[in-house]
Amino acid sequence: MVYQADAQRYAGMVYHRCGRSGIKLPAISLGLWHNFGDATRLDNSRQLLRHAFDNGITHFDLANNYGPPPGSAEENFGRLLREDFAPYRDELIISSKAGYTMWDGPYGDWGSRKYLIASLNQSLKRMGIDYVDIFYHHRPDPETPLEETMMALDHIVRQGKALYIALSNYPADRAAEAIGLLKQLGTPCLIHQPKYSMLERAPEQGLLDVLQKEGVGCIGFSPLAGGILTDRYLNGIPDDSRIASGSQFLSADRLTPENMTRVRELTELAAQRGQKLSQMALAWVLRGNRVTSVLIGASKTSQIDDAVGMLANPDFTGQELARIDAILG
């Protein structure tokens, strides 16, 4: 059956200006890190993308190594783009990244000009598109001169292979330096993607200040701390959970008694707000207008519904924010 997007898809979503750019991003963006590789049924991936777009989620975030195996998320997304979303390409923001290990040898990792340009060429081929809307350097490279990396990103935009350039996982000082170099080159940084949640507040140590000063957007990844900031682990570790599957990105040692006490108290506060903890956690990352969008992952359409449902109550009282800070310690 030919997919036709919901005619009311933009009615319920909120869109935020991304820094000082002309781009607006949905408050909720969908990451394709998990659940879009070859280990996932394509029909489920298709259902997730359709449901997200039908709810006004216009931003789909990928990277060269998303899968598993690496590259398969882009390949599968490219197929679904051709089969379902080709008529809607100009309504979408598609992003990809390079910076982590993608292929063997000295040219398949980090931040050299050769790696970044070759990686994006591969990504475009996998997805079957001429350009991405946003291209990120995925992590800072301690050995390659920052000037080389930023000049490569500038070159990519001038080639027409990306419309905007972005950074991910850069600490405040390196981000400030990179943003300054891009500004000098005439290709300003659009957005920065840090890990940010109630349990991961490092961006508050200078990075958010840098982005606000420079007019750069912010999109927080892992806003639910890998699922800890949900009701998923309140009664133990479910058999079908990421922890139970042995994920290298979330281990049982994160479920400390201290963290679980925090989660229970936060769950009670969320209930008083008429929300699930996951919804309150997303709203918290977006508080204060310093974050443009939150990047969620999903394996079920109900998780997308929960995230979008957060928009019914996105604001906090000063008392609620003080209570959250007290719980988090």
Q: How far apart are CA 230 and CA 228, in angstroms?
A: 5
- Please give the pLDDT value at position 240: 61
Whether the pLDDT of residue 241 is over 60: the answer is no
Is pLDDT larger for residue 34 or for residue 45? Answer: 45
Tokens representing 26 are: 């949905």
Tell which CATH classification among 3.20.20.100, 3.40.390.10, 3.40.50.1970, 3.40.50.620 matches the domain 15-233+288-313.
3.20.20.100
Residue 234: pLDDT band by 50, 70, 90 thresholds? confident
* Confidence tier at 255 by pLDDT (50, 70, 90): confident
* DSSP codes of every residue in 80-131: HIIIIIGGGGGG-EEEEEE-S--SSSTTSSTT-HHHHHHHHHHHHHHHT-S-
4: pLDDT strictly greater than 60: yes
Q: Are strands 93-98 and 59-61 parallel, antiparallel or unpaired?
A: parallel
Strands 162-168 and 132-137: parallel
What is the per-residue pLDDT for 87? 98
Q: What is the mean pLDDT of residues 157-162?
A: 98
> Which residues fall within 8 angstroms of residue 315, CB to CB, at 6 or more apart?
283, 287
What integer is the mean pLDDT of 152-162?
A: 98
Mean pLDDT rounded to a whole number for the chain: 95
d(CA 176, CA 209): 10
